[in-house]
Amino acid sequence: MKPPKKVWTDEEIDATIRDWIARVRPEKVKTGNWDIGDLPFMEPNGNPRIDLWQRINYLDEVEITWGKKWGASGLGKMREAAVVRPQERDIRVPPMSRAPMWSIHAPPITETPTLKDLDAWQKEHEYMCQVLRDHGVTVDYIQYPDPLPIGPYGPHVAMTSIDFWIIWGGAILSRLCIWPLARGREVFLLKWLAEIGCPTLLYVTGRGFCEIGAMESLADDCMFIASGTAANQDGINQVLPVLERAGITNVHIVQHGGWLDSCQFPMGGTYHISLFSAPLDIGKHLVYPPLLGWETQRWFHEHGYEVVEIPPEDHRDWAVSNLIVLAPGKVMMAAEAKETIRRVRKAGVEVIECPTYTSRYKIGLGGSLRCRCKPLIRDPGPRLADLK
Residues 70/62, Cβ–Cβ less than 8 Å:
yes
CA dist 227 and 271 (Å) reads: 10
β-strand partners of 226? 254
pLDDT at site 41: 93
Closest to 347 in 3D by CA, of 310, 381, 320: 310
CA dist 118 and 100 (Å) reads: 23
pLDDT at site 361: 55
CA dist 327 and 277 (Å) reads: 17
The ranges assigned to domains in the chain are 10-56, 78-386
> 3-state SS of the chain?
CCCCCCCCCHHHHHHHHHHHHHHHHHHHHHHCCCCHHHCCCECCCCCECHHHHCCCCHHHHHHHHHCCCCECCCCCCEEEEEECCCCCHHHHCCCHHHCHHHCCCCCCCCCCCCHHHHHHHHHHHHHHHHHHHHCCCEEEECCCCCCCCEECCEECCCCCCCCEEEECCEEEECCCCCCHHHCCCHHHHHHHHHHHCCCEEEECCCCCCECHHHEEEEECCEEEEEEECCECHHHHHHHHHHHHHCCCCEEEEEECCCCCCCCCCCCCCCCCHHHCEEEEECCEEEECHHHCCHHHHHHHHHCCCEEEECCHHHHHHHCCCCCEEEECCEEEEECCCHHHHHHHHHCCCEEEEECCCHHHHHHCCCCCCHHHCEEEEECCCCCHHHCC
Tell me the CA distances in angstroms from 143 to 292, 300, 303, one per residue in order.
Answer: 36, 39, 41
For the chain, residues with pLDDT lower than 70 are 1-3, 93-111, 260-262, 267-269, 357-367
pLDDT digits (tens, 9 = 90+) for 89-138: 887 766 554 566 555 555 555 567 788 888 888 999 999 999 999 999 99
Q: Helix axis angle, 10-19 relative to 58-66, nearest 10°?
A: 20
DSSP code of residue 109: P
β-strand partners of 216? 224
Q: Please, what's the b/e burial string for 1-12 (b: 16 or more CB within 10 A of its CB; e: otherwise)?
A: eeebeeebeeee
β-strand partners of 377? 71, 80
What type of residue is 71?
Answer: G
DSSP code of residue 370: G
For the domain spanning 78-386, the CATH number is: 3.75.10.10
Return the number of other C-beta atoms located less than 10 Å from residue 342's C-beta: 11
CA dist 119 and 88 (Å) reads: 9
Q: What is the dihedral of CA 192, 195, 200, 205, to 10 degrees?
A: 40
For the chain, the straight-line distance linking the first and the last C-alpha, in angstroms and rounded, comes to 43
Backbone angles phi, psi at 344, to 5 degrees: -65, -45
Q: What is the mean pLDDT of the chain?
A: 89
Residues 210/236, Cβ–Cβ less than 8 Å:
yes
Predicted model pTM: 0.91
pLDDT at site 52: 95
pLDDT at site 102: 57
The three-state secondary structure class of 15 is helix
Residues 213/273, Cβ–Cβ less than 8 Å:
yes
pLDDT at site 110: 59
CA dist 121 and 363 (Å) reads: 9
